[in-house]
Amino acid sequence: MGGRFEPPPFHSEANPSLVKRNRALHAGSNVPNESGMRKEHAFRGLGRGTLFNLYKVFIMYVRGLTSKVPNGKEGPISLSLKGPQKLYLFQLSEASIPTPEGTLEMSAGCYLVTTGDGKRILVDTGFPVGFQPPAGSPPARFRKTVHEHLAALGLKAADIDTVICTHLDIDHAGGNDAFAHAELVVQREQYEVALGGHPRFAAGRPHWDHPSLRYRLVEGDTELLPGLTLLETSGHVPGHQSVLVRLPQTGAVLLAIDAVSLQRSFTPEREAGPLDIDEERLRASTRKLLEVVKRESAALVVFHHDGLQWQELKKSPEFYA
């Protein structure tokens, strides 16, 4: 993580000449320079109007150290360029699912965050390469792998520094084994439940439990780096995590992932779907994300499987900045 900038102390016992200079300036006296010669005070002899104009210039400079962020609040410009700069949405597939209420447009995807210091952070890895859906599944209108999306940006798996594993369902972690060069970040609860043999995660286990992979286990909400926060949002599965990305122009973008996979479900009293394990925790996580959106004045919430919303989103190679 980027360290916070600390200005040097105004008075310093390690630099007594600085203290002497400061006292002399406050007293309005001449100040000796490094050669020992006396030098006229910089403001001596200036008229009141000139001093006032200099003061206005100084105030303008200080205000230049703040910027209007997208939520309308004023805040200091970050002195670190290590935060997120671009967010790419990789759409991996799209299909129409018939339901008793009508046709449901479904999408699947993953995400790439690039930072100011050149880091590349992938959120989920999608289905395994060559994955065949169960017989009788509605046909996808198209399929594209995470590797094809990366290649379109001139990247390959080895260029990824970190993979955020939102959870270990096969459509989210089926490509993990291709990212042995990266550090994989997952909630401890999710990892231990899956590793303990929960049958839900068995199909993808050869891909997320590969011996070459390096996992970092986190617990609860975690700031991965300035501007990128992991939000623990259990319910869909134990230890699910959503991702909050703060971008310099767009502002806060919430990747809800499967905590809220459809926009119509983003309500406090939503019901669990057939693939959600714990309805009580799911509702608590949904309310938590509603509060995050309000607190952050989020510019965008991406609902991971909402095919109708994905039709309106910028998709890679376009990006949010």
- For residue 247, tell me if it sits in a domain: yes
Give how many domains the chain has, as a whole number.
1
Contact between 80 and 57 under an 8 Å Cβ cutoff? The reply is no
Query: Looking at residue 250, which CATH number applies to its domain?
Result: 3.60.15.10
Contact in structure between 131 and 206 (CB atoms under 8 Å): no
Indicate whether 306 belongs to any domain: yes
pLDDT digits (tens, 9 = 90+) for 48-94: 555 555 544 444 443 443 333 344 443 333 434 789 999 999 999 99
- 41 in a structural domain: no
d(C-alpha 126, C-alpha 225), whole Å: 23
Has residue 69 been placed in a domain? no
**What is d(CA 240, CA 186) in angstroms, rounded to the nearest whole number?**
8
Considering the domain boundaries, does residue 256 fall inside one? yes
Task: Report, in angstroms and rounded to the nearest whole number, the Rg of the chain calculated over CA atoms.
Answer: 26
Q: H or E segment at 189?
A: helix 188-195
Task: Give the C-alpha separation, 214 to 210, whole Å.
Answer: 9
CB contact at 8 A, 90 and 149: yes
**For the purposes of burial, counting CB atoms within 10 Å of the CB of 7, is it exposed (0-12), middle (13-18) or buried (19 or more)?**
exposed
What integer pLDDT is reported at residue 47 of this predicted model?
62
d(CA 109, CA 91): 4
pLDDT tens track for 227-256: 999 999 999 999 999 999 999 999 999 999
Q: What pLDDT score was predicted for residue 49?
A: 59
Tell me the C-alpha distance between 200 and 302, whole Å. 25
* Residue 42 located in a structural domain: no
Whether the link from the prior residue into 317 is cis, omega within 30° of 0, is yes
7 within some domain: no
Give pLDDT < 70 ranges for the chain. Answer: 1-80
Q: Is 161:118 a contact under the CB 8 Å cutoff?
A: no
Q: Which domain holds residue 291?
A: 84-132+139-310
Whether residue 32 is contained in a domain is answered as no
